[in-house]
Structure 1
Amino acid sequence: MEPQLRPGAREAIFAQLDEAGRAEQVARRLTDAIILGVLTPGERLPSEQELARRFGVALITVRDALVMLRDAALVETRRGREGGSFVIQTDAPHGTLLQSRLRGLAQVELSDLFVYFSTILEGCAERAALRASPADADRLRGWLHTAPGSGAAGARATAGGFLLELAVLSQSPRLVREHIRLQAEFGPLLLLALGDPQARDRVAAGNREIAAAIARGEPLAARTLVADQARELSEWLLAAKTRTERGGPLYAAVATA
């Protein structure tokens, strides 16, 4: 019997790392969870001991990762009985951080990442349409009706959580792990497009169509819709990279990033 995996997006974020012992991996996983809005402002992270257990790493690795997050002004650590590490930012430092990451990738590398990321997402969407129960489909649609904020930050949180739930509904542990790895590596860059209001509206409409196809049990339609959306986002990001390399703005028009 095939194993069932329905932990939801938040639990998926804390899934064990494939390569334990690297603070950078822990920091990247948590950073991108904050950027995507899965971890929200004011939220207290699990304890250092609990993070080490969930990620399958040493305690010192978690502590080093939290130092990186504090240096990036993403979390703050408070002492005392009600203390711990708390998320303190959702948007302010991310534009510079992500643009730096974008400049560090060659066009051919970005294009290849899009192919890989899209292929994983298409597989998740197809399996989700085949296997999702009505309750699963409702949970997926729930991401689209409970946006955690407005503007680019809220759109990223909604879209990022939606993609994670889509992977979870595939009910394939390997697909979920690979999606998490790829989303941590590439998802926030892909979702830079959501600083553009027009792109934001198109993605929101596309996600509603994807959720509806999954609810109807239409795997081919779900796969096609995901592929179309990934292609549109990839074209936007490649154009944005070209603009910035020529000294222009990240966004072609005025937009809230």
Structure 2
Amino acid sequence: MSQQKRVGLTALGAVLSPLEGSGPRTEAVVQRLSAAISLGVMVDGQQLPSETVLADQLGVSTMTLREALAVLRQQGIVHTKRGRGGGSFIHGSAGVLEDTSLTRLQRMSIRELRDLGDEHFAITGTAVVFATRRGLPEDMERLRGLIDRLRESVDRVSARRIDSRFYIEMAVCAQSTRLTRAEVGLQVELSDLLWLPQLALVPAYEAVAHHDLMDAIEGEDDARARELAQSHIEARIRRLVALRLELRDR
């Protein structure tokens, strides 16, 4: 395992990095912050940085940030306190992703699902390889901790968040801001589908798969790690495709 100096990358740091591309900036800020909240990168009660600092981190104007915060307040995701000890705080993150995932799945084609699986493997498979080469002991400890939490999880929402956080932290372990942001976006799009009640994923079984992956990473076997990641991702996508076909035949 490489012992190079940590570059300071964190999941939250990647999420709050400057926006890229064109398009409506207010909407992009809303999507970025909503993603962080829905996946548990930012949690209930957590205070956001000041408007000036957060706008600077995201590379937008203060006015754009205020407009985005207003939208998030309307959605009940953020609340703002005035006066001493005030600021904007995360609120109601458990309801960020509404239970519309089954309807969304019904609207997706089999090709779209398979493309999503291909993207999952392209991003995660690459992150796994770099995590094997660049990960530090503290990274491994953090990932092992998430596996323990997943194994002990007793509800679907928390299991989904922990599972998603595992993949995001894997990209952090790879020390790549772009991979981390890509993984966050992927998990927002995919995780609520994978953890639909109809698929009946068992947190303890998913934890075993992550445990085997971690063994390969800590053993510095990047080929084996990539193979395990691919196998696990393919198995999940097959189950998702099977559910989509079942819904079509009803």
Deviates more, 1:33-42 or 1:175-184: 175-184
Deviates further, 166-175 or 214-223: 166-175
SS class of match (2:98): helix
Alpha-carbon distance, 1:101 to partner: 4.5
CA distance in 2, matches of 1:108, 1:138: 37
Query: Conserved in 2, the CA contact under 8 Å of 1:118 and 1:227?
Result: yes
Aligned partners of 1:194 and 1:215: how far apart in 2?
33
Give the corresponding residue for 1:55.
58
Q: Displacement of 1:177 after TM fit? A: 3.8
Task: Return the TM-score normalized by structure 2.
Answer: 0.82
Distance 1:90 1:163 in 2: 20
* 2:18 equivalent to 1:16: yes
> 1:119 and 2:122 equivalent?
yes
C-alpha change, 1:112 and 1:132, in structure 2 (3 Å) is same
TM-score, normalization: structure 1? 0.80
Find the aligned partners of 1:193 and 1:27 in 2 and give their Cα distance.
Answer: 24
Which letter does structure 2 place at the counterpart of 1:158?
Answer: I
Percent identity between the two aligned chains:
31
Describe how 1:193-208 pairs up with structure 2 within 5 A: 193=196, 197-208=200-211
Instruction: Output the amino acid matched with 1:15.
Output: S
Unaligned runs of 5+ in 2: none
Instruction: Supply the distance in 2 between the matched residues of 1:51 and 1:131 (Cα, whole angstroms).
Output: 29
Q: Which residue is 2:225 aligned to?
A: 222
Q: 2:180 aligns with which of 170, 176, 187?
A: 176
**Aligned-partner SS, 1:17:** coil
Counterpart check, 1:151 vs 2:155: yes
CA contact (8 A) 1:144 1:162 kept: yes
Query: What letter corresponds to residue 234 of structure 1 in structure 2?
Result: I
Q: Relative to structure 1, is the Cα distance of residues 171 and 54 closer, same or farther in structure 2, using a 3 angstrom cutoff?
A: same
What do the CA deviations read for 1:148-179 (whole angstroms, capped 9, x no partner)? 97412221221122111100121234433433
RMSD: 2.9
- Amino acid in the other structure paired with 1:11: G
Measure the CA separation in 1 of the matches of 2:106 and 2:72. 21
Could you tell me which runs of 5 or more consecutive residues in structure 1 were left unpaired when the two chains were aligned: 248-257
Equivalents in 2 of 1:151, 1:164: separation in Å? 20
| Matched position secondary structure for 1:46 | coil
Q: Which residue of 2 aligns with 1:129?
A: 132
Q: Is the 8 A contact 2:101 2:193 kept in 1?
A: no
